Amino acid sequence: MPAKGDAKKDNKKQMKPKEFWEDLCKESKAAAKEFGFRDRNPILSMFEDVIEEKKDDDFPNQIIVPYEIEACLVKVLCKSVSNVCTAGQYNDLRCLRFWNCAFGDIGVKYVAEGLLVLPSVTKLEIIDCLVGPQGAGYMAETLRKISSCNLKLLKLDHNAIGSQGAALLAKGISYNSKLTFLSLNYCSIDKFGGDALSVMLKSPEVQVKTLNLEGNDLGSAGMVDFAVACMSNSSLNKLNISLNNFGGEVPVMQALCSAFRSNPNLTDINMDGNLIGDDGLKFLIENLHDCKHIACLDVTPFVNPQHLTMLGDWLVSNASSGDKSKKGSKKGGKKAGGKKKKK
């Protein structure tokens, strides 16, 4: 008599990929009817296209929605996928990607609710979907429910959640020990963003290793607040604060140096696109010269070439210091070549 685990595997083998997609079509029709959606159903069309184009040879590990849909259709999608995965005992759906969907805050609400019935999903991208602060709040509520939500990666790039949304999101993440990758590129986070994100950075529960904040507008004041909060963080490994409109003023450089020094796990830093000037770069090099854990530091190329050479030499020294992993050494050596990418 097979064990329960074997029975589950056998049930999964009995369902063919094409049947999985056909069931998604059926469930999509039923869910649309249940939620009162009687217009054209692009979610159903998306599943039908997979079958028609004969791309249904494998079970999906991700679902991508790359066009505008109404918010209620997100509910249809999550309900139909959840029903089919549960019925077929299918646990290999890992990623949901919504690109340019324009479903706004209500759409995010339905995505957040859907995550609670899709425990296998560990990666979520909601990019350029007209999400605001309220939508960030909905996502924060789900992130607090760590017994049901298993997200490890969250991308909310190109949504104007602002500092208000960042604060709500940070509060939710402060209770979460599963999320390891957070991207908030081009999210209209301003000078209040540094303080807004501080509750997340200071939380001992947080395990975020990669944090992307490119293309926001923290400015010098916001960056000081952000750096001060980073001094209490030990989980970050990779940080992107490029294009955030801060300069090389002494208070900013002092705060950043203290933040970089305080976390020995922080090896990869991108602060390109910020005009820190010769004085700012020189300050960084002089005050971080004994920080052997930093393998990569990207800065603006619009500085004295001599200072860039000094930076490269320092990174090469770090890479060959003996306490770098093979991967870190290669990365440091590459970045240390003195050829900085221009934007």
pLDDT one-digit tens code per residue, 138-156: 999 999 998 889 999 999 9
- pLDDT score for 82: 94
Per-residue pLDDT band for 1 (boundaries 50, 70, 90) equals very low
pLDDT tens-digit readout, 118-138: 999 999 999 999 999 999 999
- Give me the amino acid identity at 11: N
C-alpha R_g of the chain: 23
Residue among 202, 248, 208 at smallest CA distance from 225: 202
Residue 40 has a CB neighbour count (10 Å cut-off) of 10
How confident is the model over 192-206, as a mean pLDDT? 96
In whole angstroms, give the CA distance from residue 190 to residue 282.
27
- pLDDT score for 55: 63
- pLDDT score for 56: 62
In whole angstroms, give the CA distance from residue 197 to residue 163.
8
Residue among 120, 130, 80, 72 at smallest CA distance from 96: 120
Q: Is the pLDDT of residue 337 over 60?
A: no
pLDDT tens-digit readout, 42-95: 899 998 888 887 666 778 899 999 999 999 999 999 999 999 999 888 889 999
- pLDDT score for 324: 44
Distances (CA, A) of 186 to 8, 106, 141, 162: 43, 21, 22, 9
User: Could you give the strand order of the β-sheet that contains 210-212, starting from the edge strand earlier in sequence?
Assistant: 62-65, 95-99, 123-127, 153-155, 181-183, 210-212, 238-240, 268-270, 296-298
In whole angstroms, give the CA distance from residue 29 to residue 264.
53
Tokens describing residue 69? 């849909």
Beta bridge partners of 35: none
Select the more confidently predicted residue: 325 or 197. Answer: 197
Beta bridge partners of 96: 63, 124
Q: Is 23 helix (H, G, I), strand (E, B) or coil?
A: helix
In whole angstroms, give the CA distance from residue 189 to residue 140.
16
- pLDDT score for 17: 84
Select the more confidently predicted residue: 13 or 108. Answer: 108
Please count the residues of the chain. 343
pLDDT tens-digit readout, 266-321: 999 999 999 999 999 999 999 999 999 999 999 999 999 999 999 999 999 998 87
Distances (CA, A) of 79 to 24, 33, 304, 327: 10, 12, 57, 42
Phi, psi of 98 (to 5 degrees): -115, 115
- pLDDT score for 14: 62
Tokens describing residue 242? 């490029």
- pLDDT score for 41: 87
- pLDDT score for 187: 98
Per-residue pLDDT band for 326 (boundaries 50, 70, 90) equals very low
Q: Which helix (H) or strand (E) holds 17?
A: helix 17-34
- pLDDT score for 6: 42
Phi, psi of 127 (to 5 degrees): -115, 125
In whole angstroms, give the CA distance from residue 340 to residue 300.
8
